[in-house]
Structure 1
Amino acid sequence: MAINNGDFVRLNFTGKVKETDDVFDTTYEDVAKDAEIYMEDRTYKPIPIVVGGNHLLPVIEESIEGLEAGETKTIEVESKDAFGERSSELIQLIPMREFKKQGMTPVPGMPISAGDRTGRILTVNGGRVKVDFNHELAGKDLVYDIEVIEILEDDEDKIKSMIELHYGSPNMDIDKTEIDIDGDTVNITLDEITKFDQKSYMDVTFARFRIAKDIWDNMDFEKVNFVDSFEKKTTEEDAEEDEE
């Protein structure tokens, strides 16, 4: 079965800078280690996306339409279709006193955040700090090696794939997440361990909204409920947990 717009798929990918062949992102653990970009708190495995859902760069999602499970493709992405061209307006001089107010000592290469922007310090000269707020891949042509692992067809599998994509909890066992479909309503009970995540209330709310939106936009359901319940445990159950 060939991939169409709106399909739920799992795929592996490796993204490289075309000019230098440097790997900047990958779903393969061994590739990440070889490229020295491995992160211990990340799980390396095929990622789920909805084709056309803007989960990856649009040009990539368009390019995998027509592929089948098991097929691979190399996609070249021009900078204008990736992270845009570099803008001199996004390179700014910030007074040193602004850093001192935050108790920071700026040094070249240091990443910083300012409101909803992230940047990198280029230079520190006297009382001024030059910061580049361009995306680190801005102005660069990219190459993505894509491998289609699976095209999902079961509704429950599709819903769980969006939970994996958006909730992003490394401790969550997706197999312990319960999906109850009742007509045009989906009831989701997440793995018990997610009740004790250190995520902020806002992060949890945004994650749930993104899951619900992908379900509304790409499946025949009108309502998505997230069910939170706490049951009183018996003395025997408490004792068993203590023993574990």
Structure 2
Amino acid sequence: MQQVKSGDTVKVHYHGRLTNGETFDSSEGREPLEFEVGGGMVIKGFDDGVTGMAVGEKKTINIPVDNAYGPKNPEMIIEFPRNQFPEGMTPEKGMRLNLNNAEGHVFPVVIAEVKDDVVILDANHPLAGEDLIFDLELVEIVGSKSRIIMP
């Protein structure tokens, strides 16, 4: 029976949750996720988790922070002057916003705290600092990259 290896393109159904049981993402009701194993399209722990699976196999994997989205980076916590918010906008904890940096790049942030004169924004990935659990089902091995080794 063929097993997944690096370079294979696979289709996987998944259910992702935090260690407290909260679901953060799932392919339920959607097409399975298709990606190239080892191609940098998913987090390392997910790549490692599907490697060696056979079509139809189901398993649960635990992905520690370092193989997921990494620890929270304190440099990604930004104090933003409250008076620079658009007029009529009331910042609230948990609100998701997009900011532009000096180079004009847009990046998502979440309001972590609202103070009298500043709003604390968190630009870390929403799953940074979290250990993740995935229930996986390998649906299909679509194909693999051909590798020709020259002498």
Counterpart Cα distance in 2 of 1:122 and 1:13: 29
**Structure 2: where are the runs of 5+ without partners?**
101-105
* 1:15 partner amino acid: G
Corresponding position: 1:106 with 2:91 = yes
Secondary structure at the aligned position of 2:86 is classed as helix
Q: How many residues align?
A: 141
**Equivalent residue, structure 2, for 1:141:** 131
TM-score (norm 2): 0.83
**Structure 1: where are the runs of 5+ without partners?**
30-43, 159-217, 221-244
Greater relative contact order (CA < 8 Å, ≥ 6 in sequence): 2
Counterpart Cα distance in 1 of 2:130 and 2:121: 19
Counterpart Cα distance in 1 of 2:86 and 2:9: 48
Deviations 1:186-236 (A, max 9, x none): xxxxxxxxxxxxxxxxxxxxxxxxxxxxxxxx358xxxxxxxxxxxxxxxx
Secondary structure at the aligned position of 1:80 is classed as helix
Q: CA deviation at 1:63?
A: 2.6
Corresponding position: 1:46 with 2:46 = no
Secondary structure at the aligned position of 1:63 is classed as helix
Counterpart Cα distance in 2 of 1:47 and 1:111: 25
Bigger CA radius of gyration: 1
* 2:80 partner amino acid: I
* 2:139 partner amino acid: I
Q: What is the CA RMSD across the aligned residues, in angstroms? A: 2.0
Q: CA deviation at 1:13?
A: 0.6
Q: CA deviation at 1:69?
A: 0.4
Deviations 1:99-156 (A, max 9, x none): 137x633222211111232111122222211112222211111111110011124xxx
User: Superposed, which structure 2 residues align to 1:206-217 within 5 Å?
Assistant: none
**Equivalent residue, structure 2, for 1:207:** none
Counterpart Cα distance in 2 of 1:15 and 1:113: 25
- Identify, as 1 or 2, the structure richer in strand: 2
Q: CA deviation at 1:51?
A: 1.1
Deviations 1:5-53 (A, max 9, x none): 11111110111102x0111000013xxxxxxxxxxxxxx1212111111
Structure 1 vs Structure 2: percent identity of aligned residues? Answer: 30
TM-score (norm 1): 0.53
Counterpart Cα distance in 1 of 2:146 and 2:97: 39
Counterpart Cα distance in 2 of 1:8 and 1:132: 34
